[in-house]
Amino acid sequence: MNPHLYPGSMAAQGMIYESLIEKTESGFAPLLAESWEVSDDGLAYTFHLRQGVTFHDGAPFNAEAVKKNIDAVQANAERHAWIKLSAKLKQVTVLDEHTVRLELSEPYAPTLLELSMTRPYVFLSPNDFKDGGTKDGVQGHDGTGPYRLAEQKQDQYAVFEANEDYWAGAPAVKRITAKVLPTGETTLLALQKGEVNFLFTDDRGADSLDVEAMQSLVDTGKYQLLRSKPMNTKLIAANSSRADSPVGERAVREALWHAVDRDTIAGTLLHGTETPAEALFSPNTPYADLDLPKRAYDLKRAAELLEEAGWKQGDGGIRTKAGKPLALQLVYDAASLSQKTEAELIQSAGASIGMKLELVGEPSPSLAARRASGDYDLLFNQTWGLAYDPQSTIASFTAESSYRHTTSGIERAEELYAEIEEAARTTDEAARKQLYRDILKTVHDEAVFIPISHGGVTVVAPSDLDGVAFKQTQFELPFEQMKFR
């Protein structure tokens, strides 16, 4: 639960710790900072902190604490290389008790976004620091958030108690116990028996819910089922850099796009917990409400595309071109039953258009390793979620360890990368909008990210619980707003 490192549950970290600002549907909102100014050259950010806020251990939250925390994160900067801000942040200056200034070495547009994330730029009482820092561990978990960690047993449960001194008023739900449950049917049993009365899924959770059964539970009137807006996109990343594989060819990727039955996946296999995705980002994502051409589930069109590209029907029902069979490898996360089922469905559709898909299930670290080394044709993946989309996901197009191999094989790759860099640097909002439009259009046209469904958070809560809402990330929920009728 060290807020400056990555292990630990994001949901729990979000209850205990807070950032300076928060990303909401309508833009950035004050959290621990009441207001902020950005200098004209985009190099200095001045934050006016909320007054009278204390950490759970009673220590005051002030400019000094902000500086200490950010310095602690920076001391471990190489761990946060994916957050570009960590490389661009030059220094933090305490202007007075409640004012701090962050100075950057060059303008960086997603600064506010990265400061709003659940980690690493959140604040822990300096009394909990170890050797003046946090990279070697912490001595306590005192944040400023609406809940404090009362008790924790690794792999079993954690108890959170309301922070009565919370600056926005004490939360109404006084005590929350988070339990570790086995996946699968036991979750439902636990709900039915009342061992658990509140359940939420992150993007992987849909795997462990028997939604049909859950619905029957809701029908009893004891529970309500709530779904958030789309938070992220499940997709298949196609390795365009593989010139020797059919996947390097745009027509093949487009044909596959047409062969994915999104309605069946979202509606039937996932019981409507997710919605069909027609583009890399759902239209409610910033900069992504673009009218991109839809590639519907259409096996005939898929077959035509292949035919036009010179893939002719060969022996055994598999198309060939210049003696090469139309065979691709699709890698999925072996721990995810839904990915497996989706892969099987897509495989079967592929077979009917003469495309052979070989399924490979592996643990998720292998997937990440393959993504980084480019050792894949097709790979199940997902965008990072509303709090990070589209900026962070787009930034990762260029990163070797992320989607470099996915994007580098397309025709105007160099141009694309230049645009991505420009979009992060520019301080002109209109220009950025145009750049993002171009970028998203390019990857859409090239069909390197084949969207499947938009995931969100599903909550099963007692029917007398009011105020169940969602945040901009699929990993957290605003428990402080909930109360029992």
Beta carbons within 8 Å of 307's beta carbon, 6+ residues apart: none
Q: Which of residues 433-472 bind another protein (CB under 8 A)?
A: none
Rule CB under 8 A: is residue 131 a binding residue for another protein?
Answer: no
b/e per residue, 41-55, with b = 16+ CB within 10 A?
ebbebbbbbbeebbb
* One-letter identity of residue 484: F
Rule CB under 8 A: is residue 77 a binding residue for another protein?
Answer: no
- Number of neighbouring beta carbons within 10 Å of residue 5: 17
Q: Which of 93, 401, 426, 481 binds another protein (CB under 8 A)?
A: 401
Q: Which of 186, 284, 427, 463 binds another protein (CB under 8 A)?
A: 186
Q: How far is the CB of 138 from another protein (least distance, A)?
A: 11
Pair of tokens at residue 463? 């029917």
Rule CB under 8 A: is residue 195 a binding residue for another protein?
Answer: yes
Strand partners, 152: 158
Q: Residue 34 carries which DSSP code?
A: E
Q: Which of 296, 399, 418, 431 binds another protein (CB under 8 A)?
A: 399
Rule CB under 8 A: is residue 431 a binding residue for another protein?
Answer: no
| Cα(467)–Cα(206) distance, integer angstroms | 22
Q: How far is the CB of 310 from another protein (least distance, A)?
A: 28
Cβ(426)–Cβ(109) below 8 Å: yes
Q: Which of 42, 59, 79, 462 binds another protein (CB under 8 A)?
A: 79
Cβ(245)–Cβ(377) below 8 Å: yes
3-class secondary structure, 182: coil
Cβ(162)–Cβ(16) below 8 Å: no
Rule CB under 8 A: is residue 213 a binding residue for another protein?
Answer: yes
Q: How far is the CB of 180 from another protein (least distance, A)?
A: 6
Q: Which of residues 221-250 bind another protein (CB under 8 A)?
A: none
Q: Which of 161, 165, 210, 445 binds another protein (CB under 8 A)?
A: 210
Q: Which of 29, 75, 81, 290 binds another protein (CB under 8 A)?
A: 81
Q: Which of 58, 132, 169, 182 binds another protein (CB under 8 A)?
A: 182
Q: Which own/partner contact pairs does 214-220 have at CB distance under 8 Å and 24+ positions apart?
A: 214/188, 214/460, 215/271, 217/188, 217/191, 217/192, 217/460, 218/460
Half-sphere exposure of 106 (CA within 13 A, CB side): 7
b/e per residue, 136-160, with b = 16+ CB within 10 A?
eebebbbbbbbbbbeeeeeeeebbb
Rule CB under 8 A: is residue 380 a binding residue for another protein?
Answer: no
Q: Identify which range of 96-104, 272-280, 365-373, 441-449 contacts another protein by CB under 8 A.
A: 365-373
Site string for another protein, 135-154 (x = CB under 8 A): --x---------------xx
Q: Which of 94, 178, 190, 292 binds another protein (CB under 8 A)?
A: 190
Determine the longest span between alpha carbons in the chain, in angstroms: 77
- If binding means CB under 8 A, how many residues of this protein chain bind another protein? 64
Q: Identify which range of 12-20, 126-134, 140-148, 364-372 contacts another protein by CB under 8 A.
A: 364-372
Residues that bind another protein (CB under 8 A): 5-7, 78-79, 81-82, 137, 153-157, 179-182, 184-186, 188-190, 192-193, 195, 207, 210, 212-213, 216, 261, 264, 268-269, 332, 334-335, 337, 340-341, 343-345, 347-349, 359-366, 368-369, 372, 384, 396, 399-402
